[in-house]
Amino acid sequence: MKATVYYGPRDMRIEQVPDPIIHKPTDVIARITHACICGSDLWPYRGIDQPKPGTRMGHEWMGIVEEVGAEVQTLKKGDRVIAPFLISDGVCAFCQEGLHSSCVHVGVWGRAVDGGQGEAVRVPYADGTLVALPQAIAGDKQLLKAVLPLTDVMATGHHAAFTAKVGKGSVAAVIGDGAVGLCAVLAAKRLGAERIFIIGHQEQRLKLAQTFGATDIILARGEQAEQEILEQTHGGADAVLECVGTLDSINMALHITRPGKTASFVGVAHIDHIPDLGNRFLRNVTVTGGVAPARAYLPELLQDVLHGVLDPSPVLDMTVDLDGVPAGYEAMDKRTALKVMVQLQ
Amino acid sequence: MKATVYYGPRDMRIEQVPDPIIHKPTDVIARITHACICGSDLWPYRGIDQPKPGTRMGHEWMGIVEEVGAEVQTLKKGDRVIAPFLISDGVCAFCQEGLHSSCVHVGVWGRAVDGGQGEAVRVPYADGTLVALPQAIAGDKQLLKAVLPLTDVMATGHHAAFTAKVGKGSVAAVIGDGAVGLCAVLAAKRLGAERIFIIGHQEQRLKLAQTFGATDIILARGEQAEQEILEQTHGGADAVLECVGTLDSINMALHITRPGKTASFVGVAHIDHIPDLGNRFLRNVTVTGGVAPARAYLPELLQDVLHGVLDPSPVLDMTVDLDGVPAGYEAMDKRTALKVMVQLQ
């Protein structure tokens, strides 16, 4: 089969790789129908992370079950499935507690197993990892596109809003206008936020944020942005959803959170500490968030997408086929695309 | 009147100072009956903090109202009162939200106003700051001693347990066997914790912790202590109550918190960042806590003390009169006393 393989910064290749086969009786093999390129895939692309040459890429995908291991109980050949961005067994204590991202068998697509940006994938712990989609969805291209972001960015945006305790009447502030930030706006709206600030700099994306429910756009940067939000909220937002992961954005999140309230961090950071502890302590700001347990949220979010009350599909503003994946990386790197969908079938 | 005045490291003096007078119509003047020496008072004593020579000391006190400003509505001459360790107006948005430590008029005893380790004190925002005690308590020395820790250490221990979401059946871990750590054990027990670990090194204090409800004593230090707790809890405590504030104890708190659960920090830290962000992020550990809004908790905790179901008085293991305050600092510095009560009347 063909798959996307990393060779070095700005060197993603579509290559022939071995077809996946069942290793364990809890595996299934799935043929991939849709995948995405993630903002975090840009790190190796840009050379910030440098995985081994030969590493397979992609952790957001949907597909059709093609082969089923002997111990798999909930899936059969032909089932349409969606995968969260992490593998999880579904039965360990952490999965039972809803924190599938801390599963004792947690795994990452593209490392020990095939990546999502390819024609097929071996799925470990298939009963735990995958969620079946209704068969009727097969003919509805638009609905499939709305489901696809639940693999990662929509689940991550929801994690930010949920862990920051967004509820009816909340004043939320979303830092970042990437796909996760935009999904965090959707999630905050869905959980009842009354006012949703978004801090970003890309005009098109901020317009999309408004259609998703953002009520206040903050174009200023740094301290000026902080001042604007502190003034307009009379002391800070109830829930700050940090969807970038830089030192500046982390600092901003801590500063614009109302005393006694919560900042949730879902932007994967490349720094190793939270600064300004004294300020957090004096103001009783809670710091939460992390790697989203997407598998835990999938059933709930899927129902809303299937019922037409949640639609993150506009974040997917460019579509490529598998051979177009390298061009998709380039478009996201140059910000001519927000997020790329890979359509295989 | 006489009061405790700081002149430099290990130089606390009992001196004549001006009698307090009403400055604003919202003030009262209170004669102090009981005060404490706090662990945080040891910082200037040890030279870690160096306030201006002449600074008045003490932020934990109870007393009797002697003079009442014209606009004070809830207090009258002769009322017995307890003060939390911070001044707050009781009416601003933050006080209304229960976060009196972020009051827009927040103040600290001993800075702009008299300290608690003296004969009398001017109380700003008296209606907001003070809580009246029942008159019947006057003759009950033991009950007064049980109420006194609500000024700070018991409220702070409760803040740790409450913000770490200790509830029925929780597995809690308390780091530190000082007065706050011991009160955190009491608080965790009171909120329903099923198992309470305490990490400390002072045999007498750990015995007291057991009488307060600690079920598991961890004498090991550093990584060995972490390993013991991780093993015994099968992955970490649900609620970690950090009552020390050093880099090592903050690190330990983050490491022994179960993924998806909460570490609350109430030990005032002399470091400026939270380390090891990546680990927190991967494990979805929530970081919370800070300066306790003692005023918010006082009515609830007071009821339990008055009803005999909460008794933190054993943390007060040495009593001095006002002239004995310097000896009290020395005893706490040398750890021959856990916490000193100053009995004025």
Given a cut of 80, whether residue A272 has pLDDT beyond it is no
**Closest residue in chain A to residue B247, using alpha carbons only:** A277
Question: Measured between alpha carbons, how far is residue B40 from residues A338, B37, B44 in Å?
Answer: 51, 8, 8
Is residue A277 within 8 angstroms of chain B, CB to CB?
yes
User: CA angle, corner B301, sides to B295 and B306, nearest 5?
Assistant: 125
Nearest CB partner across the interface for A97, out of B93, B260, B288: B260
* B1 within 8 A of B10, measured Cβ to Cβ: no
Q: Closest Cα of chain B to A93: distance in Å?
A: 10
CB contact under 8 A, B260 and A285: no
Please list every residue in chain B whose beta carbon sits closer than 8 Å to the beta carbon of residue A94: 235, 259-260
Given a cut of 80, whether residue A90 has pLDDT beyond it is yes
CB contact under 8 A, B277 and A280: no
- Confidence at residue B111, expressed as pLDDT on a 0 to 100 scale: 87
Per-residue pLDDT of chain B (345 residues; tens, 9 = 90+): 999 999 999 999 999 999 999 999 999 999 999 999 999 999 999 999 899 999 999 999 999 999 999 999 999 999 999 999 999 999 999 999 999 999 999 999 998 899 999 999 999 999 999 999 999 999 999 999 999 999 999 999 999 999 999 999 999 999 999 999 999 999 999 999 999 999 999 999 999 999 999 999 999 999 999 999 999 999 999 999 999 999 899 999 999 999 999 999 998 887 777 777 788 999 999 999 999 999 999 999 999 999 999 999 999 999 999 999 999 999 999 999 999 999 998
* Confidence tier at A224 by pLDDT (50, 70, 90): very high
- Confidence at residue B304, expressed as pLDDT on a 0 to 100 scale: 98
Nearest CB partner across the interface for B102, out of A101, A268, A283: A283
Given a cut of 90, whether residue A271 has pLDDT beyond it is no
- Confidence at residue A267, expressed as pLDDT on a 0 to 100 scale: 87
Given a cut of 90, whether residue A87 has pLDDT beyond it is yes
pLDDT digits (tens, 9 = 90+) for A206-215: 999 999 999 9
pLDDT digits (tens, 9 = 90+) for A228-240: 999 999 999 999 9
Given a cut of 80, whether residue A247 has pLDDT beyond it is yes
Q: What is the ipTM of this complex?
A: 0.95
Mean pLDDT of chain A: 96
Selected residue of B287, B291, B295, B297 to mutate for chain A interface (largest A Cβ count, 10 A): B287
CB contact under 8 A, B290 and A281: yes
- Confidence at residue A266, expressed as pLDDT on a 0 to 100 scale: 96
- Confidence at residue B162, expressed as pLDDT on a 0 to 100 scale: 98
Which residues, 6 or more positions from B164, have their beta carbon under 8 angstroms from its beta carbon? B172, B239, B240, B241, B262, B263, B264, B288, B289
Domains of chain B listed by start with CATH number: 2-152+293-343 (3.90.180.10), 153-288 (3.40.50.720)
- Confidence at residue B268, expressed as pLDDT on a 0 to 100 scale: 83
CB contact under 8 A, B274 and A287: yes
**Closest residue in chain A to residue B289, using alpha carbons only:** A284
B46-76 in b/e burial notation, b at 16+ Cβ within 10 A?
eeeeeeeeebbbbbbbbbbbebbbeebeebe
* B236 within 8 A of B225, measured Cβ to Cβ: no
Is residue A246 within 8 angstroms of chain B, CB to CB?
no
Region A274-301: what's the mean pLDDT?
92
- Confidence at residue B204, expressed as pLDDT on a 0 to 100 scale: 94
* A72 within 8 A of A81, measured Cβ to Cβ: no
Selected residue of A108, A287, A295 to mutate for chain B interface (largest B Cβ count, 10 A): A287
- Confidence at residue B112, expressed as pLDDT on a 0 to 100 scale: 82
CB contact under 8 A, A98 and B260: yes
Question: Measured between alpha carbons, how far is residue A17 from residues A2, A8, A341, B153 in Å?
Answer: 6, 18, 21, 64
**Closest residue in chain A to residue B268, using alpha carbons only:** A281
Selected residue of A281, A282, A285 to mutate for chain B interface (largest B Cβ count, 10 A): A281
**Closest residue in chain A to residue B287, using alpha carbons only:** A287
Q: Closest Cα of chain A to B279: distance in Å?
A: 9
Region A73-97: what's the mean pLDDT?
98
Is residue B97 within 8 angstroms of chain A, CB to CB?
yes
Nearest CB partner across the interface for B274, out of A98, A277, A293: A277
Nearest CB partner across the interface for B290, out of A235, A275, A282: A282
* Confidence tier at A140 by pLDDT (50, 70, 90): very high
Given a cut of 90, whether residue A273 has pLDDT beyond it is no
* Confidence tier at A74 by pLDDT (50, 70, 90): very high
**Closest residue in chain A to residue B292, using alpha carbons only:** A284
Distance CA A242, CA A100 (A): 21
- Confidence at residue B175, expressed as pLDDT on a 0 to 100 scale: 98
Provide the residue type at B311 as one letter.
D
- Confidence at residue B271, expressed as pLDDT on a 0 to 100 scale: 75
Size of interface A-B (CB pairs under 8 A): 109
Given a cut of 80, whether residue A277 has pLDDT beyond it is no
CB contact under 8 A, B272 and A276: yes
Is residue A97 within 8 angstroms of chain B, CB to CB?
yes
Distance CA B343, CA B145 (A): 10
Question: Measured between alpha carbons, how far is residue A201 from residues A182, A186, A330, B305 in Å?
Answer: 13, 18, 20, 55
Task: Read off the tokens for A227.
Answer: 């001042």
**Which residues 113-172 of B are in CB contact (within 8 Å) with A?**
163
Provide the residue type at A327 as one letter.
A
Distance CA A175, CA A249 (A): 7
Is residue B210 within 8 angstroms of chain A, CB to CB?
no
φ, ψ of residue A205 in degrees (nearest 5) = -70, -35
**Closest residue in chain A to residue B259, using alpha carbons only:** A102
Please list every residue in chain A whose beta carbon sits closer than 8 Å to the beta carbon of residue B271: 277
Is residue B98 within 8 angstroms of chain A, CB to CB?
yes
CB contact under 8 A, A284 and B101: yes
CB contact under 8 A, A286 and B163: yes
- Answering whether pTM is above 0.80, one says yes
Distance CA A157, CA A289 (A): 10
